[in-house]
A and B are shown apart, each in its own frame.
Chain A
Amino acid sequence: MIIEALLAFTFAAALLVFAVPNRYAHKLAFGLSLVPIVGSLYMWSAFEAGGNALTGGQIAFETVAPWLEVAGYQLQWYVGVDGISLPLVVLTTFLTALAIMSAWTPIDDRQSQFYGLMLLMEANLIGVFTALDFFLWFVFWEAVLVPMYFLIGVWGGPRRKYAAIKFFVYTNIASLVMFIAFMALVFSLPVDSFGLPEITQSLAAGELTAFYGLPAETLALVVFAAMFVGFAVKVPVVPVHTWLPDAHVEAPTPASVMLAGVLLKMGTYALLRFNFTMLPEQASAFAIPIGIIAVVSVIYGAMLALAQTDLKRIVAYSSVSSMGYVILGLIAFTEFGMGGATFQMVAHGLISGLMFMAVGVIYNATHTRIVDDMSGLADRMPVAVWILVAGAFAYMGLPLMAGFAGEFFIFVGSFGSTALPYAPVFTALAMFGIVIVAGYLLLAMQRTLFGPFRLETDYELTRAPMHDIAPLVALLGAIVLLGVAPSLFFDMILDATVPILELGGGL
């Protein structure tokens, strides 16, 4: 029942924060957001399940209850976690609380609505990562978009309407493609509910039948492709990534943190859950195109980041690049590849969150994010700047920080992959991303943070306040902790990803 309690509490907290006056909202929201952290950490400490939730492994904190019956299909309230979803739940609760704190400075208008939406989004995200019934999952999946739409559209920058609508429409159309494909899949299976485990196991047993004249094999390929496209937009990978920089640039800092930190992981999580767990053979059939997409995302995303002059755009494009690694790890179909991809989701969530927050702290003080407008900030705001430097090095994959662990697992997993032809070539090409990422981040840092101080303002630039620094420190601590001891999450992740390999994708 802990998951229900977590969801109910977060929804109730959101409603409560909507109701309180603006001047109390920020502290109340932060205080309330600490409770889900405690809850998720309790789940982490009490977690004892083994195996993958979808392939018949033991599911932790599982509850099933019938909900509706439609056309012979039972829709259920079906939630539970395994080693893949639990780290992401922890990431969500942790990052939401810190994002709320990072909003204290920049958000000075309609605070109660802002924080209410943040908590509402948290609740829906927890739902996405815990739901095990397709319809329940889909409700949460779509409901996440709504708070984010308003967060960008109301509190965003000058082109916020454009960005918000682009974000909403782009990802929503993608969801539609995925939804239709998934329905076609389910209707061709002898199942009587939308429970994801049931569907997965039915597919694994080879029970897929023809659909309106499409043979089962073709249907599986078509469904795989459609679902891949649907989720790829969310990840995002090249070439369906262009909503991301616009959304990031216009979004207020806390929304960017959530967008890069958790919302992008919905895409990779769904890819892992749906495409790579349910249809592993089809994934192997598409291995080369997916490998190419991954490598292109890594290199092309990094090259785009190199060309940017807006700090937020740089970090946004580098997210595209980092997500390419995740795709590479998934398609490798090896233990370290898939495990590393899942680990990288968490690691990248923390690191990109840290980067957006740190850039936000600097923006709060300078009111500009353009690289050429400033120089030598390390002189005036040392703590924030050095944390940004630490975050940048984490992004570059500095050892003993979480990013290196994720990337190294992916590389070591994918290099010897048998599912992906020419795996060493793909891996080596993708790894070149670590040089480009160092290039653009170092270049941007050198120009903005170091050198003689220069910034045209009519006020004195001062150190950042404590409540801006505290979330940065917390994130940095988490990044180092996971970098030194990745097995805190990696063991349970492996536990849940290894059964996927046994389904036949990698063999």
Chain B
Amino acid sequence: MVPVEYYLLLSSGLFCIGLFGILTRRNALYFLMSVELMLNAANINLVAFSFYWGNLTGQTFALFAIALAAAEVAVGIGIILALYRNFGDVDVMQAATMRW
């Protein structure tokens, strides 16, 4: 049986990749993908601990999170489209007109 620490290492690696993407990319599509990576890192954690404790609640939560991620993509893509229409680009740095 694979020890739970390996799952955690995998998940934190995945999370860091996502975080790196968010902190370095300006393209909204990359953003969306990075967010999905971080979300899935959390899912891995949930499933791993669920397996570790023998409690199904974690897996249920993971399923919910996946469904939620699907919805989020729909909304996210919609926002990106709106962004593109208004700014002619999908660069997140440009969409700063509503600050202070």
A and B touch in their complex, CB below 8 angstroms: no
